Amino acid sequence: MITFDAVSKHYRGQTVAVDKLSLTAPSGKLTIFVGPSGCGKTTSLRMVNRLIAPSSGRILLDGEPTDTMDVAVLRRKIGYVIQNAGLFPHRTVAQNIATTARLNGTPKDQALRIAHELLERVGLSSAFANRYPWQLSGGQQQRVGVARALASDPKFMLMDEPFSAVDPVVRGQLQDEFLRLQRDIGKTIIMVTHDIDEALKLGDQVVVLRTGGTLAQVATPQELLARPADDFVADFIGRDRGYRVLGFAEFAKGGVPLGAEPTATLGATPETLRQIATDRWVLVADSMNRPLGWADVDSVKGPLRDGDLNLSGTLAVEGSSLRHVLDAALSSPSGRGVIVGQSGELMGTVTLSHVAEAIEAARTGRMGTQP
Amino acid sequence: MIAWFSDPTHWTGSDGVFALVIQHLIYSGVALFFACLIGLPIGLYVGHTGRGVVLIAGLANALRSLPSLGLIVLLVILFGPVFTSDMAFIVPSIIVLVLLAVPPIMSGTYAGVAAVDPAAVDAARGMGKRPLDILFDVELPCALPLIFSGLRSATLQIISTATIAAYVSLGGLGRLIIDGRAQNDYYQMAAGAVLVGALALLVDLAIGILSRLTVSPGLTRRL
Ligand SMILES: Nc1ncnc2c1ncn2[C@@H]1O[C@H](COP(=O)(O)OP(=O)(O)O)[C@@H](O)[C@H]1O
Ligand SMILES: [Mg+2]
């Protein structure tokens, strides 16, 4: 548990970067500080490990005030991850990771062993152990940065825009992997981001700050979307709030009835297709019954080829949120959303009206539990 | 000139090439040692703390603009009465060589430390490394390439300027040139110049090898 108790920071007397911030980041949870640029996120984060000294107020780790601790000792208890990783360029990947363990008194051999284990955990093979940072991509460097913070097995972690410097595809992967990792390790984490989507995706608790370093709202992502505290928060979360709510797990429970969908295979003749078809569109699957795309019965002239397939439809994996199910239905040329199992095999299709009913049911169920 | 080099009497003896090279190396080595003793800590301090940047820039420029020969003569006149032995020439010469070598070493070290990736230093602080550990585990090793380049130009300056010091009766390869001038022996003068050049090249090569051995491949990007 990390507690902010009326913490303020004034730079050079005038700029108020953080203004009487009071909040708690619960143990084992991922708390995200989000807000527009310059709202004091980084300043707040860096006051926890005293890279910046608060002007007033106190920060407590598990109830223990940090202002009386030796700074080096304090920092060694807290994992620290920054935007551009900040790896030591003259050290190999394994040496970089081992640093924090070494600082906490772990013998060299053991620290290097830990480093090798952590490499695997953050999704890098041990082939990377003896490379230097310049030989790594931005995303790989960031993974090493996370591993380095974890090597001392700290109870707390601070992360400042850890995934901002990489391209969107890699960012998505890093986020997913990090969520999986956090499920295993359950650290008490404060992460800073300016990206509200990242905050909603990763956070157990989201802290929205406004310019001037004041607290706008502390809430779970669901609450934030459902009940933004004021116009500032509503604006900051942006459009598509209603649609994004569908992305949360509680909307996965309402099952949408699956319809059986006949399929054709590549090479089928126009006559076969017409026999199978229930309307203009026929779903085409491979020999393992994995969906490939939709064929338009009216336009297929010869035996069905790859080039005849319409690939616009997205696939929703069984049990995923209604956001994905709805997207599958909306993007499908036939209007029927394709649902697949964990290994990609066809489970059936859903209709837009059934999805809408499920959304309606989930919505009333959820609203019903709230005053 | 080949004739000059093939005459064995020019190589041995108390004023032979071997003895002069050794003398030259000793003076240069002593001067380099003291220059490092002064330049490295100042460069490290200023680079690490960011304090005194303007001061060392001004100091470096002032030292660079000193006329070496004039200063040597001046110091010999000043120190003459203090020392009785050869020290009366050696000490002033070495002082001037040190003054000449400090700026490149100091500036190289400062620039090297100042150029270290601020994110790496921030990470080091954030994980709980103490200031001296940051200096010696992160800043110094990362600054080595620029420190070595400062060291190289300092060494070249020392070796070439040590030649001038023969003017005030200092030993070393400068003797060949100054004495050759006095005796109108142009072959000997040319031989002296060639030898100084060769010595400078060899020492530069040695420092190059040293830097290869000590600078991490993570910085040179050479594997
Ligand atoms: N070292 C500093 N000196 C003066 N002002 C600063 C300093 N660091 C940050 N600030 C100011 O404090 C405010 C908050 O900065 P910061 O915490 O970095 O914001 P964020 O991380 O949310 O973008 C900004 O207005 C910034 O200009
Ligand atoms: Mg910031």
Q: What is the residue-level pLDDT of chain A in tens, covering all 371 positions?
A: 999 999 999 998 678 999 999 999 999 999 999 999 999 999 999 999 999 999 999 999 999 999 999 999 999 999 999 999 999 999 999 999 999 999 999 999 999 999 999 999 999 999 999 999 999 999 999 999 999 999 999 999 999 999 998 888 889 889 999 999 999 999 999 999 999 989 999 999 999 999 999 999 999 998 998 899 999 999 998 877 778 778 775 565 557 888 999 999 999 999 999 999 889 999 999 999 999 999 999 888 889 998 889 999 988 888 778 888 999 999 999 999 999 988 889 999 999 999 888 888 877 766 544 43
Mutate to test the interface with A, among B116, B125, B127, B211 (most CBs of A within 10 A): B127
CB A49 within 8 A of CB A158: yes
Q: Is A9 helix (H, G, I), strand (E, B) or coil?
A: strand
Q: Quick one: pLDDT at residue A370?
A: 40
B122·A149 Cβ contact <8 A: no
Residue type, A72: A
CB A223 within 8 A of CB A234: no
Rounded distance between C-alpha atoms, residue A41 and residue A161, angstroms:
10
In testing the pocket of ligand 1, which one of A39, A158, A196 has its CB within 8 Å of the most ligand atoms? A39
Q: Quick one: pLDDT at residue A252?
A: 59
User: CA of B210 to nearest chain A CA: how many angstroms apart?
Assistant: 17
Domain with CATH 3.10.580.10 in chain A: 263-360
Number of domains, chain B: 1
Rounded distance between C-alpha atoms, residue A356 and residue A322, angstroms:
9
* Residue B170 buriedness (CB in 10 A; 0-12 / 13-18 / 19+): buried
* Residue B78 buriedness (CB in 10 A; 0-12 / 13-18 / 19+): exposed
Q: Quick one: pLDDT at residue B41?
A: 97
CB A61 within 8 A of CB A5: no
Nearest CA in chain B to A152: B127
Best CA proximity match to A256, nearest among A182, A171, A123, A361 = A361
C-alpha separations of A334 from A2, A277, A290, A302, B197 in Å: 51, 11, 17, 21, 84
Q: Is A369 helix (H, G, I), strand (E, B) or coil?
A: coil
Strands A263-264 and A64-65: unpaired
First to last CA, chain B: 43
A82·B126 Cβ contact <8 A: yes
User: CA of A16 to nearest chain B CA: how many angstroms apart?
Assistant: 23
Atom 18 in ligand 1: which residue has the minimum CA distance?
Answer: A42
* Rama region for A21: left / alpha / beta (φ>0; ψ in -120 to 50; rest): beta
Of B122, B127, B218, the CB nearest to A90: B218
CA dihedral B64, B65, B70, B71 (to 10 degrees): -50
| Ligand sitting nearest the alpha carbon of A160 | 2
How many CB atoms lie under 10 A from the CB of residue A145?
27
Atom 1 in ligand 1: which residue has the minimum CA distance?
Answer: A11
B145 touches chain A (CB under 8 A): no
CA atoms lying within 13 Å on the CB side of residue B30: 13
* CATH code, residues A263-360: 3.10.580.10
Ligand 2: centre distance to CA B42 (Å)? 33
Q: Quick one: pLDDT at residue A369?
A: 43
Q: Which residues does A15 contact at the CB level (< 8 Å), separation at least 6? A: none
B140 touches chain A (CB under 8 A): no
Rounded distance between C-alpha atoms, residue A172 and residue A188, angstroms:
22
Rounded distance between C-alpha atoms, residue A339 and residue A324, angstroms:
10
Ranking A192-206, B49-63, B99-113 by mean pLDDT, the lowest is: B49-63
Ligand 1 atom with minimal separation from the A192 CA: 21
Domain with CATH 3.40.50.300 in chain A: 2-238
User: CA of A180 to nearest chain B CA: how many angstroms apart?
Assistant: 24
Rounded distance between C-alpha atoms, residue A76 and residue B128, angstroms:
5
| Percent of chain B residues topping a pLDDT of 70 | 100
Instruction: Give chain B positions within 8 Å (CB) of A83.
Output: 119
Residues in chain A: 371
Mutate to test the interface with B, among A46, A90, A102 (most CBs of B within 10 A): A90
Rounded distance between C-alpha atoms, residue A196 and residue B37, angstroms:
54
| Ligand sitting nearest the alpha carbon of A39 | 1
**Residue span of the structural domain in which B64 resides:** 2-220
Q: Quick one: pLDDT at residue A334?
A: 93
B216·A132 Cβ contact <8 A: yes
Best CA proximity match to B24, nearest among B149, B199, B153, B201 = B199
Place of tokens 């920054």: A82
User: CA of B26 to nearest chain A CA: how many angstroms apart?
Assistant: 34
Q: Is A228 helix (H, G, I), strand (E, B) or coil?
A: coil
Q: Which CATH superfamily is domain A2-238 in?
A: P-loop containing nucleotide triphosphate hydrolases (3.40.50.300)
| Ligand sitting nearest the alpha carbon of A46 | 1
CB A264 within 8 A of CB A282: yes
CB A205 within 8 A of CB A29: yes
Ligand 2: centre distance to CA A32 (Å)? 13
What is the band of B47 on the pLDDT scale with cuts at 50, 70, 90?
very high
Ligand 2: centre distance to CA B37 (Å)? 41
Averaged confidence pLDDT in chain B: 90
CATH code, B53: 1.10.3720.10
Q: What is the mean pLDDT of residues B139-165?
A: 94
Strands A309-310 and A315-317: unpaired
Atom 12 in ligand 1: which residue has the minimum CA distance?
Answer: A17
Report residues whose beta carbon is within 6 angstroms of any ligand 1 atom: A 11-12, 15, 17, 37-43
Best CA proximity match to B165, nearest among B183, B180, B177 = B177
CA dihedral B101, B105, B110, B113 (to 10 degrees): 180
> Rounded to an integer, what is the distance from CA A74 to the centroid of its chain?
28
B141 touches chain A (CB under 8 A): yes
Beta bridge partners, A59, equal A4
* Residue A127 buriedness (CB in 10 A; 0-12 / 13-18 / 19+): exposed
User: Would you tell me the crossing angle of helices B17-49 and B174-182 to the nearest 10 degrees?
Assistant: 130
